[in-house]
């Protein structure tokens, strides 16, 4: 009986060893001689390809106290034009934010106001529970699959390393020792993920999952995961979104007839 047991464990070990040897491994890339300035220029060139986005997305927000999900209408154009509408299951608008480049208009269950477009406003007015200050331009960058903060514009030169088949750029603050990091696809220079510090000192994480093919001739994230301070937002775009199409500028300025909405259930 003991011999049979030993044979079983021996065979199981052989099978596991064979399976692990057959598992696909990510080929590490060679970053010897890689130039940080050149990499950053290619990141900027990649991000400049998409100038506007229109489409529907499924949004899921998780906080320590709650989970919320709803459909979002997204219309955004660089640098700071945006219109987001949160829809209830019946297709009615229950929350609204827009920026026409001069003003930000917010109409939701918790807020109705007009702000200067350059001002920071509370992101929880748009995404309940996400108590983070942000500008209209940063929000446009977020929904367009760009970094809300352009950490690659830092004065410090980043360290370059290879990490799981990606180029990893690390900016280290000489005084605080804090690190901001980007992981970049070495073939097309799209950002795959990022880990950085927000203006309020909170650490933030971004993770992108791209559509399998090109969208209107461009790589674009199907899924955007943003997390900071124990809170997270997940944006998943429908496949029929439109990039760099015509955008009606009148959509960014709400009509005077829009009233403040009452308490709504987004779920």
pLDDT in tens, 185-226: 999 999 999 999 987 788 999 999 999 999 999 999 999 999
What is the dihedral angle through the alpha carbons of 210, 214, 216, 219, rounded to the nearest 10 degrees? 40
The tokens of 67 are what? 């989970």
Judge whether 199 lies within some domain.
yes
* The predicted structure's pLDDT at residue 80: 94
* The predicted structure's pLDDT at residue 3: 53
The tokens of 75 are what? 């219309």
Check which CATH number belongs to the domain holding 194 and give it: 2.50.20.10
Cα 208 to Cα 157: distance, rounded to the nearest angstrom: 24
pLDDT in tens, 19-69: 444 545 656 788 988 999 999 999 999 999 999 999 999 999 998 888 989
- Indicate the average pLDDT of the chain: 84
pLDDT in tens, 72-120: 999 999 999 999 999 988 888 888 899 999 999 988 766 788 888 888 8
Judge whether 5 lies within some domain.
no
Cα 111 to Cα 204: distance, rounded to the nearest angstrom: 25
CB–CB of 96/106 below 8 Å?
yes
Domain of 165, in residue numbers: 36-252
Judge whether 127 lies within some domain.
yes
Judge whether 155 lies within some domain.
yes
pTM for this structure? 0.82
51 burial level (CB within 10 Å; 0-12, 13-18, 19+):
middle
| Number of domains into which the chain is organized | 1
Judge whether 88 lies within some domain.
yes
Judge whether 8 lies within some domain.
no
């Amino acid at each position: 009986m003991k011999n049979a047991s030993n044979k079983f464990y021996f065979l199981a070990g052989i099978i596991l060893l064979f399976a692990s040897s057959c598992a696909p491994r990510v080929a590490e890339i060679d970053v010897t001689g890689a130039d940080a300035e050149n990499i950053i220029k290619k990141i900027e060139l990649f991000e400049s390809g998409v100038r506007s986005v229109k489409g529907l997305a499924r949004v899921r927000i998780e906080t320590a106290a709650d989970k919320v999900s709803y459909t979002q209408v997204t219309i955004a154009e660089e640098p700071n034009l945006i219109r987001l509408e949160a829809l209830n299951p019946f297709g009615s608008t229950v929350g609204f934010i827009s920026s026409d480049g001069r003003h930000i208009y917010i109409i939701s269950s918790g807020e109705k106001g007009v702000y200067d477009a350059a001002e920071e406003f509370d992101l929880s007015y748009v995404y309940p529970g996400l108590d983070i200050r942000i500008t209209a331009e940063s929000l446009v960058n977020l929904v367009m699959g760009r970094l809300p903060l352009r950490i690659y514009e830092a004065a410090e030169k980043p360290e370059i390393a290879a990490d799981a088949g990606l180029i990893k750029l690390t900016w280290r603050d000489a005084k605080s020792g804090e690190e901001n990091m980007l992981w970049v696809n070495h073939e097309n220079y799209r950002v795959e993920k990022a880990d950085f510090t927000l203006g309020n000192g909170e650490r933030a994480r971004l993770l992108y999952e791209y559509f399998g093919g090109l969208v209107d001739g461009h790589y674009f994230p199907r899924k955007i995961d943003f997390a900071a301070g124990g809170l997270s937002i997940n944006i998943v775009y429908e496949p029929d979104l439109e990039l760099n199409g015509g955008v009606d500028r009148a959509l960014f300025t709400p009509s005077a007839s829009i009233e403040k909405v009452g308490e709504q259930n987004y779920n």
